[in-house]
Chain A
Amino acid sequence: MLELWLLVIAAALGTYLWRGLGVLLSGRIKVNSELFNWVACVAYAMVAGLISRIVIVPGGMLAQTALAERLVACALAVAAYYLSRRNLLVGVGAGVAAIMAMVALH
């Protein structure tokens, strides 16, 4: 329990590091350098990797659903997002409704 609290505090400090450093360095560094491009790629890839892993190989409750069901729900969510003129709430709502409907039916 204590260990988990320390983990949360350290993660919060690690996250703040960038925010605080940004305040400190504003006006002194160029943000469109190649180093920043690489860092942006790593951050994007890490989030994309985690999300695609959760959709393809989930743990917990989502493991009860079929891969096809999760993929169909995600595809419907993306379609609903674009059909609703880029409304994120509509897209997410459609995806959640789709997975619940498919699980309820089987």
Chain B
Amino acid sequence: MSFVVDAVYLSPMTPAAARRLGMRDALGVPGAVLAAGMMGFGALALESGLSLMMALACTAGIWALPGQIVLIEMHMSGAPGALTVLAVTLTAARFLPMAVSLMPVIRAPGDSRTTLYTAAQLLAMTSWAWTMRRCADMPRESRLAYFIGFSLTCWTVGIAATAAGYLLAGSFSPLMRLGFVFLNPVYFVVLLIADARTVLAVCALACGAIAGPLLYYANPQWSVLLAGLIGGTAGYGLQRIIRRRRA
């Protein structure tokens, strides 16, 4: 019995099979959670007066919900374009360490640069976490296929969900629309609190959460960027003090 299990486990997974596994994984809980978030974004885009095409371009091009929300909120508050781009760019900084740690795992000797740099556009928190976990016991030549299968499926689901949220919110009753617009804030409240497991995350989240509304009263247009820089630096200092006390 154990021999059979081992034989199945050790049989090398072909790239095609890895791609299919990635697609199947993505269509489970990750796709559902993503679809909920992106439907909320579609509703927010409609409420903010964006065209459907523009909402879809945000999802396809930026492909990071926090950045997309920052873009819409700052645009609505009349912030200068350069400031908005800077803030969106800063929210995406997490992708650098993610890509740096992912590439040595999924890269195989024969992979072309074009494929790798194109695949990088699809990188997101979920695809990073799933690929890092799944690829540990997968042959090297199948790992990129898994990543692309997973993240391309997520990307497609995300774009479709943005369209669905945008189109549905317009035909909903005001009460339903309100629920949809509330979806993103409550999504991030839960996600950020669930994510706050390290001293660094707790300090940064707490300082940011306090700085955000306060700075909004002082200057709405600069508030997002300043909350990040001031709140983040305060949080960074605080976690250093706590770490030093503990050590």
Residues of A whose CB lies within 8 Å of any CB of B are 3-12, 14-23, 25-27, 29, 31, 36-62, 64-65, 70, 73-74, 77-78, 81, 86, 88-89, 91-92, 95-97, 99-100, 103-104
Contacts and interface: CB of A to CB of B under 8 A. Distances in A.
A19 B124 CA distance: 9
Nearest to A96: B179
B212 A53 contact: yes
A44 B213 contact: no
A15 B67 contact: yes
Given A42-B93, A53-B213, 20 more contacts: A3-B81, A7-B85, A8-B61, A9-B57, A12-B61, A12-B62, A15-B67, A23-B103, A31-B97, A42-B228, A43-B92, A43-B228, A45-B234, A49-B224, A59-B76, A60-B76, A61-B181, A81-B190, A92-B186, A99-B179
B133 to A, nearest CB: 16
A43 B178 contact: no
Given A10-B85, A40-B94, A23 B228 contact: no
Greatest chain B CB density within 10 A among A45, A47, A88 is at A45
Given A15-B64, A41-B239, A43-B93, A48 B190 contact: no
A97 B224 CA distance: 28
A84 B241 CA distance: 35
6 contacts: A14-B89, A20-B120, A26-B99, A41-B239, A45-B207, A88-B194
What 10 A-B pairs have minimum CB-CB distances, sorted nearest first? A22-B99, A49-B212, A45-B208, A46-B228, A49-B227, A12-B61, A14-B89, A42-B232, A48-B208, A95-B186
Contacts of A52: 208-210, 212-213
A50 B225 CA distance: 9
Contacts of B84: 7, 11
A64 B182 CA distance: 12
A26 B100 contact: yes
Secondary structure of the A contact surface, majority rule: helix
A96 B36 CA distance: 11
B71 interface: yes
B177 A61 contact: yes
Contacts of A44: 192, 201, 204-205, 208, 232, 235
Nearest to A80: B190
B179 A40 contact: no
Interface stretch (B8-16, B47-55, B155-163): B47-55
B7 interface: no
Interface in B79-106: 81, 84-104
B19 to A, nearest CB: 20
A42 B229 contact: yes
A104 B104 CA distance: 52
Contact of B71 (A11, A74, A77): A11
B204 A31 contact: no
A100 to B, nearest CB: 4
A51 B206 CA distance: 12
A15 B216 contact: no
A25 B48 CA distance: 38
A30 to B, nearest CB: 9
